[in-house]
Structure 1
């Protein structure tokens, strides 16, 4: 890489543009794959779980970043189940507000409140983030939109409903400070 010229890198940037423009398509394809099978023991697919989470967020009056964050919060599960939360956050981080990415990144440890004790884990491990400005947002996200979204009878909106939202988010300029708003914590709907 160190031997590349400015012209080389300008060429690469130009050639990468079509690939980058298809990011939303790749994300939507991964969501569709998540709907093809269910994890053993679960009554719904990972896609169904994301759709339920996003539907709950939308019905609660959440904004675009929260809805897409809810839809994609487990998108890393198929590739990295042991750290899916961090992988999922990295997928969305360049395109959503800072607080939404932080919540997605940390939802796994916050979810342990509901089940960690069954494995002998510290169900209150999230308390180490008690002073973080996104603590309440993450706790609310998990309570209202994540842990409750494993209901096979829930009337979720279909992926087609959320597709324009995914395209809008991934159509943004990556790492745009006006979108990311580092340090800003948005209010979740009451």
Structure 2
């Protein structure tokens, strides 16, 4: 790579554009692939969990960043089960509000409040983030959309319902400050 010229790299940048355009297709394919595997011990698939989380977010009138974040918060689980939260956050980070990417990145440790005591772990491990501006958003995300989305009887929207939202988000210019909105707290929609 060190011997490449500006012309070489300009050519590569041009050649990579069609690949970038297909990012949403690859993400949707991975989501559908997760519908083939039931999570060990659970009554639903990983895809169904993401769809259920996104359906809850959508029905609470969350904005598109939250809905897509909820849909894809576990997209990394198949390849990186021990750090799926961080893996998933890196998939969405260039395209969504910083608050949503931070929430997805930290939801794993925040979820521990529900089960860590059963393993002898610290269920309050998330407290080390209590001074972070996104703490409440992540805690609410876990409570309202993640931990409750393992219900095989919940009426969930299909992948096709969310596909236009995924395409819209991943069609954004990567790392555009207009969408990243660093340091801004929107929070989850107020419950009625």
TM bracket, shorter-chain basis: over 0.9
- 1:111 corresponding residue in structure 2: 111
What is the rounded CA distance, in whole Å, between the counterparts of 1:107 and 1:187 in structure 2?
Answer: 15
- Unaligned 5+ segments in structure 1 are none
> CA offsets per residue over residues 113-160 of structure 1, 9 Å max, x none?
000111111000000000000000000000000000000000000000
RMSD after superposition: 0.5
Normalising by structure 1, report the TM-score: 0.99
Alignment partner, residue 78 of structure 2 = 78
The residue that corresponds to 2:55 in the other structure is 55
Residue of structure 2 in register with 1:66 after alignment: 66
Q: What pairs up with 1:38-187 in 2 under 5 angstroms?
A: 38-187=38-187
| Separation in 2, partners of 1:156, 1:68 | 15
Deviation per residue, 1:76-109 (Å, 9 max, x gap): 0000000000000000000000000000000000
**C-alpha displacement of 1:3:** 1.1
2:28 is matched with 28
**Which has the larger displacement, 32-41 or 95-104?**
32-41
CA deviations on 1:1-27 (whole Å, 9 max, x unpaired) are 121100000000000000000000000
Aligned to 2:3: 3
Displacement of 1:187 in angstroms is 2.7
Gaps of 5+ in 2: none
* Residue in structure 2 matched with residue 19 of structure 1 by the alignment: 19
**2:36 match: secondary structure:** coil
Contact 2:110 2:126 in 1 (8 A): yes
Aligned to 1:188: 188
Question: 1: CA distance between counterparts of 2:20 and 2:162?
Answer: 20
Report the TM-score, using the length of structure 2 for normalisation: 0.98
In 2, the alpha carbon distance for the partners of 1:41 and 1:80 equals 18
